[in-house]
Amino acid sequence: MNQEKQRPRPPLLIAQIGFVHTVMRKECDKIFREHDFPLEMDQLPVLLSLYYSGGASQQEIYSKLLRDKASVNRTVAFLAKKGILTTTPDSADRRKTRVELTAAGKKLAQKANVIIEKYDEKLASAFTAEEKREWHRLMQILIEGNPFPSLQIPI
């Protein structure tokens, strides 16, 4: 009997998380385009991080978002050029730059937040109350446990 060689498969958990991320990002991108939102999806985390925090240094932004410094610097420069945020040298440490939303930036972030809240409600409606609690618990295990940087995998 000719046995067909089995193809390798991606690790299930990583594949599922990656797929969910891709699907959600595409759906969010579609929703934001439908609302004539002027920013790209990769710029939204910076905008919303500032909206939720009330302002931060660029270092705080890239540390919180787990993004590289150059990516955050490019996004900050772009948003500043568009009048969405302002940057000022930190009064205590001139090496740091304080980043805050302008009035136009706050209005744009508020619009983005409303869109995301509605999408979040739509996603959450697919789960029962118990499933939501379990989802939150499982995500907290991954987030708080932060296994990624220190993960040692024997080969």
- How much is the pLDDT for 4? 64
Res. 121: pLDDT tops 60: yes
Beta strand 56-57 pairing with 97-101: antiparallel
Task: Establish if 92 belongs to a structural domain.
Answer: yes
Task: Establish if 113 belongs to a structural domain.
Answer: yes
Task: Establish if 155 belongs to a structural domain.
Answer: no
> String of b and e for 3-23 (b: at least 16 CB within 10 Å)?
eeeeeeeeeeeeeeeeeeeee
Task: Establish if 95 belongs to a structural domain.
Answer: yes
- How much is the pLDDT for 111? 96
Task: Establish if 16 belongs to a structural domain.
Answer: no
**Number of domains comprising the chain:** 1
Confidence of residue 129 (pLDDT cuts 50, 70, 90): very high
Task: Establish if 141 belongs to a structural domain.
Answer: yes
CATH number, domain containing residue 52: 1.10.10.10
Res. 144: pLDDT tops 90: no
Give the SS3 label for residue 18: helix
Res. 155: pLDDT tops 50: no
Reading the block at residue 112, the tokens are 């983005």
- How much is the pLDDT for 3? 57
Rounded distance, CA 44 to CA 113, Å?
Answer: 10
Average pLDDT of the chain is: 88
Task: Establish if 11 belongs to a structural domain.
Answer: no
Task: Establish if 122 belongs to a structural domain.
Answer: yes
Prediction pTM value: 0.80
Reading the block at residue 105, the tokens are 């930036």
Whether 44 contacts 29, CB under 8 Å = no
Q: What is the pLDDT of residues 8-62, one digit of tens each?
A: 877 888 889 899 999 999 999 999 999 999 999 889 999 999 999 999 999 999 9
Q: What is the pLDDT of residues 64-105, one digit of tens each?
A: 998 999 999 999 999 999 999 999 987 888 788 899 999 999
Q: Which structural domain, as residue segments, surrounds residue 60? A: 40-145
Whether 41 contacts 25, CB under 8 Å = yes
- How much is the pLDDT for 147? 55
